A and B are shown apart, each in its own frame.
Chain A
Amino acid sequence: MLLIRCPYCEEERPELEFRNAGEAHVARSANMVGESDDDFEKFFFIRSNPKGIIYERWRHMHGCARFFNAVRDTVTDKFVMTYRAGEPKPSKLPKNSNEGLAK
């Protein structure tokens, strides 16, 4: 069971309290009706599914109930960092030491 740092509770909490909510930074258009079929396809169906660093949404479902964003390495399953919903995608990631897990 992973430990996940909730950026609202400001501490690491057991994974059982959380729920994954898919890829992050997929913005919903302010003009949905005007979206082309292609754009809607990209928005709704296409996900990056990378091997390595992924930006994803989690919800502290059974904690503070907030949605937030996390950077995770899909190869090692390690969380690199977490940040609040609405904050921009981090331009630089903290150096991930061998044992440093989202500290």
Chain B
Amino acid sequence: MSGALRIPGAGRLSQAKTARFSFDGQSYAGIEGDTLASALLANGVHLVGRSFKYHRPRGILSAGAEEPNALVQIVRDDARKTPNVRATVQELYDGLAANSQNRWPSLSFDVGAVNDLASPLFSAGFYYKTFMWPKAAWKSLYEPKIREAAGLGVSPDRPDPDHYSSRYAHCDVLVLGGGAAGIAAALAAAETGVRVILADEQAEFGGSLRFESGAKIDGKDGFAWAQAAIARLGAMDNVRVLPRTTAFGYYAQNFVGLVERVSDHLKAPGHDLPRERLWQVRAKRVVLASGAIERHMVFANNDRPGVMLAAAARTFLNHYGVAVGKNVGIYTANDSAYGAAIDLKKAGVNVAAIVDLRDNPTGPVIDEARALGIEINSGRAVIRAGGKLRVSSMTVQPKNGGGERTIPVDAILMSAGWTPSVHLFSQSRGKVAFNDETKRFVPGTYAQDCVSVGACNGTDGLAATVDEAYAAGARAAKDAGAKAAKGVKPKVDASESWSRGMLGAAPGAGPDTTVKAFVDFQNDVTAKDIRQAVHEGMRSIEHVKRFTTNGMATDQGKTSNMHGLAIAAETLGKPIPEVGLTTFRAPYTPVTFGAIVSHARGPLFDPTRRTAIHPWAEAQGAVFEDVGQWKRAWYFPQAGEDMHAAVDRECVGVRNQAGLFDASTLGKIEVVGPDAAKFMELLYTNPWEKLEPGRCRYGIMLREDGFIYDDGVVGRLAPDRFHVTTTTGGAPRVMNHMEDYLQTEFPHLNVWLTSITEQWAVIAVQGPKSRDIIAPLVEGIDMSDEALPHMSVREGKICGVPTRLFRMSFTGERGFEVNVPADYGQAVWEVLWAEGQKHGATAYGTEAMHVLRAEKGYIIVGQDTDGTVTPNDAGLDWAVGKKKADFVGIRGMARPDLVAKGRKQLVGLKTKDPKVVLEEGAQIVEDPKQAIPMKMIGHVTSSYWSQNCGRSIALALVAGGRDRMGDTLYVPMPDGVIEVEVAGMVFFDETGGRLNG
């Protein structure tokens, strides 16, 4: 039913729950609870992929996250095609469809495999040496071709339809890894009542208890104990248990990133379920219980499908009930592979032979294997695996040479020993230390509040592990502030123990050989490649790594790093610690972009800010433009109008009758306190002390370096209260700038700042009819020119709601800016609009606003200035208080270069052909016939077609511009040179009479 190699009675899955799946189009049956890997193996499928560089056939190496070979593409639908999924991690669901990668036309016949035959050409550093000449070919030929050939799966080309979520979480003790150590630590911490989070990357907790058939805790089988403990933990209010959750990054101050795979294992994920959830956990203490990873043996053709880690084979048997072969060979350098041999033999699988590199291994497991009648060949090596798409034999030789013997097998289960998983410890900036006796790197110096327990700490044996972990969990809880614990330590009744092993190439793959003995499966790095790197001059392990790409694949060298290091050290003739370990970096396993982005997609990518009047503009068919996070009405096209026509109409309408403009986005700050004027004096160039309440002034703000930072109209509402406006984009930074000076330079001033940008909706009513529109709606304000002259402000009521009514103009026309509390904004606008219709008013957008202000030579900070423009450069000297003793920028403004002759000054430009509109940003030269590169003396900052002037208009920064009035200058463009005349900045109503018109 669920695979010919499923052994009845073995494993923990319920045979009743069949899950159908397909691999490369072929249908198979598995069982719920399987991984894709176990389900394939149950069906006798070992060949699952082609390698990255040589396109060699590859199988399943491991049973976990370290898998370098079995990378497949999972296809749910057109938009959900996930490449490079580890078959050993992907849980089976009914209907799962997987495809192999990196092969054409098929997995068993792959044209790219010629790379394997040509492998002498593709040795280490091949890319760096081969594609050097001709240089130009790199970009046009080599790189595109290499990129096409490289990579494994295929990215989906549609937007990801899934959603991802995120959660910040805090806890006292975070336990990473849910094997015996992690569970024991979590129990100890949880029993004290502190907040505990326990995470494990597997679907089920237990870690090595999944395969260790000899473990017994509290009278139970190890795995059963783990499940019972997890059930207990899960029922506690202070504990969060997270299966399928990988800690991928350990950052500063115990900040750990975890990804929970929420629905990848489900047949039909509910719409509300995210695909993955990003957990950003801040823990007072972290317990690292990340275990150890078994290493493979480095021998010729050790990558053939069917050659796998011994503990993986044991996991497939003891957990999934799958025999990885019918006639297996064992190749080991430590005790742990004996467990696989014994369990398989007991399950009825033929164990052809154990080949043990050690001379005279002794101990209970060796005795047990022997008692089961398994042949043990000690002091011998497997020098070669036979077969191509599946291993067919292993060739054995005494390790010091001698006669070969070839044994037919259909799987080789290997173990070179176990590497403590110090990845997260290393990411925490802890320093590892090399234990020369056990030949492994273990946590040395800690950099953060964490502790390693169990196999990742180099602790051998279940009893010692549980002791250490339980004590560490209790200690972590205590350090996090817990009171005394009241729990009972789990009692280990029986356990397995395995340590030691070997590092580097096995006999038969030594320095004198040229065989393909793989160190790094995912990046196709062989023992020979590492030696070659050293021979070619790489001395540091960091250089060896980059030259060979050993450990640089997405598996980050979980199985390969130590072998690579040992071979490099041997070739260099140095001890391992002197060669050093490369740095482990986040992420521990690949993390989807979706999880990292989580909620920040679509409408939540960035806040979209809309004004209170936005719905009206939208209903009118306005076209919007982005101004920072704001959406602003750009122009209001009527039927048949393009942008040009709409803007022309709006500009003319404002000058001839009146226009309504939504100015709500302007930054607004209320400056309040007895020292408000003193503060304004210091922050703006202008004098403020004598500004009378009820009057307004155009203010300029500088940075300390003397350059214009912001501008805006400021109204004095009362002796101790100013209503300050800023540019739309500048609002947050201006507020920050003002707070900075107030808090740190002028803290003696009794004044406070409050952002009121969003308190007030602002409706600009501009044009000769503006007063006629507003006046009937206003209460309590005398609207006459005498009582309310240009640049004044009054508080009163409009349409029955409170208003701060400004008489001001950014168009050069008689104008008002009506501030009303934001929730009233749209209603007041609608009343003004209706009133405006009686006077032929138009609504205008930001484009018309820009044109109208340019016609008057009013600058826009950030468009006509760029952070290098002084008030004098901009022709705004009149706004600088000459008698002031201090203001921000007063000294910077006087720097030699800022008062030197020939600075770029803001001037107007008129094209000789009035129909030609200059391009903003275009460069200006004196002599268009000079040789390239020409001397550029300035550039165009603003340029528009002005329907009101009947010609184009432009503003420009030009060196010594004000001394060039009437001069002809040139703007060279790709299709010809444009002649321009330097002019004043005011193109319309030079006398300014219309402000009161």
Using a CB–CB distance below 8 Å, which chain A residues touch chain B? 1-3, 14, 19, 21, 28-29, 32-33, 35, 37, 40, 44, 57, 59, 61, 65-67, 76-78, 85-86, 98-99, 101
Contact = CB atoms under 8 A, between A and B. Distances in A.
Nearest to B742: A67
Interface stretch (B404-412, B442-450, B967-975): B442-450
A99 B448 contact: yes
A40 B891 contact: yes
B868 interface: no
B213 to A, nearest CB: 40
Nearest to A77: B252
B497 interface: no
Contact of A40 (B251, B447, B736, B895): B895
Contacts of A35: 891
By Cβ-Cβ distance, the 3 closest A-B pairs, closest first, are: A32-B891, A99-B449, A67-B743
A99 B891 contact: no
Of the listed residues A1, A2, A85, the one surrounded by the most CB atoms of chain B closer than 10 A to its CB is A1
Given A3-B282, A98-B446, A99-B449, A40 B892 contact: yes
A59 B891 contact: no
Contacts of A44: 704-705, 892
B739 interface: yes
Interface residues of B, number: 29
A61 to B, nearest CB: 8
A2 B743 contact: no
Contacts of B895: 37, 40
B896 A37 contact: yes
Contacts of B743: 66-67, 85
Contacts of A98: 445-447
Interface string B225-257: 000000000000000000000000001110100
Contacts of B445: 98
Contacts of A99: 446-449
B448 A1 contact: no
B252 A85 contact: no
Contacts of B896: 37
Nearest to A69: B744
Contacts of A67: 739-740, 743-744
A28 B705 CA distance: 12
B16 interface: no
B747 interface: yes
Contacts of A37: 895-896
Of the listed residues A2, A37, A40, the one surrounded by the most CB atoms of chain B closer than 10 A to its CB is A40
B447 to A, nearest CB: 7
Contacts, number: 61
Nearest to A21: B740
A66 B743 CA distance: 8
Contact of B739 (A32, A33, A57, A65): A65
B885 interface: yes
A3 B252 CA distance: 8
B375 interface: no
Given A2-B253, A3-B282, A77-B252, A86 B744 contact: yes
30 contacts: A1-B251, A2-B252, A3-B253, A14-B282, A29-B891, A32-B886, A32-B890, A32-B891, A33-B886, A33-B890, A33-B891, A35-B891, A37-B895, A37-B896, A40-B892, A40-B895, A44-B704, A44-B705, A59-B736, A61-B736, A67-B743, A76-B429, A77-B252, A78-B252, A85-B744, A85-B747, A86-B744, A98-B447, A99-B447, A99-B449
A65 B148 CA distance: 51
B736 A1 contact: no
A29 to B, nearest CB: 8
A35 to B, nearest CB: 5
Of the listed residues B447, B449, B740, B891, the one surrounded by the most CB atoms of chain A closer than 10 A to its CB is B891
Given A1-B252, A3-B253, A28 B449 contact: no
Interface in B699-748: 704-705, 736, 739-740, 743-745, 747
Interface of B: 251-253, 255, 280, 282, 429, 445-449, 704-705, 736, 739-740, 743-745, 747, 885-886, 890-892, 894-896
B877 to A, nearest CB: 17
A57 B744 contact: yes
A52 to B, nearest CB: 17
Of the listed residues B736, B747, B890, the one surrounded by the most CB atoms of chain A closer than 10 A to its CB is B736
Contacts of B429: 76
A59 B447 contact: no
Contacts of A29: 891
B480 to A, nearest CB: 13
A33 to B, nearest CB: 6
A86 B745 CA distance: 9
Contact of B280 (A1, A65, A77, A85): A1
Nearest to A2: B252
Nearest to B285: A99
A85 B892 CA distance: 25
Nearest to B889: A32
Nearest to B251: A1
A76 B429 CA distance: 9
A32 to B, nearest CB: 4
Contacts of A76: 429, 447
Contacts of A77: 252
A1 B740 contact: no
B324 to A, nearest CB: 44
Contacts of A2: 252-253, 255
Of the listed residues A86, A98, A99, A101, the one surrounded by the most CB atoms of chain B closer than 10 A to its CB is A99
Of the listed residues A35, A44, A76, the one surrounded by the most CB atoms of chain B closer than 10 A to its CB is A44
Of the listed residues B282, B429, B743, the one surrounded by the most CB atoms of chain A closer than 10 A to its CB is B743
Given A2-B255, A99-B448, 18 more contacts: A1-B251, A1-B252, A1-B280, A2-B253, A14-B282, A28-B704, A29-B891, A32-B891, A37-B896, A40-B891, A40-B895, A66-B743, A67-B740, A67-B743, A76-B447, A85-B744, A99-B449, A101-B253
Given A33-B886, A37-B896, A59 B449 contact: no
Contacts of A19: 736
Contacts of A65: 739
B684 to A, nearest CB: 15
Contacts of B739: 59, 65, 67
A18 B445 CA distance: 30
Nearest to A35: B891
A86 B280 contact: no
Contacts of A40: 891-892, 895
A19 B449 CA distance: 26
A32 B282 CA distance: 46
A77 B429 CA distance: 11
A19 B736 CA distance: 10
Contacts of A1: 251-252, 255, 280
A39 B861 CA distance: 29
A57 B252 CA distance: 20
B747 A86 contact: yes
A72 to B, nearest CB: 12
Contacts of A86: 744, 747
Given A33-B886, A40-B891, A28 B252 contact: no
B596 to A, nearest CB: 14
B936 to A, nearest CB: 26
A59 B446 contact: no
A78 B428 CA distance: 13
Contacts of A21: 740
Contact of A28 (B280, B447, B736, B745): B745
Of the listed residues B446, B449, B744, the one surrounded by the most CB atoms of chain A closer than 10 A to its CB is B744
A32 B704 CA distance: 10
A9 B747 CA distance: 19
Nearest to B280: A1
B740 A59 contact: yes
B44 to A, nearest CB: 48
A42 to B, nearest CB: 12
B822 to A, nearest CB: 22
Contacts of B891: 29, 32-33, 35, 40
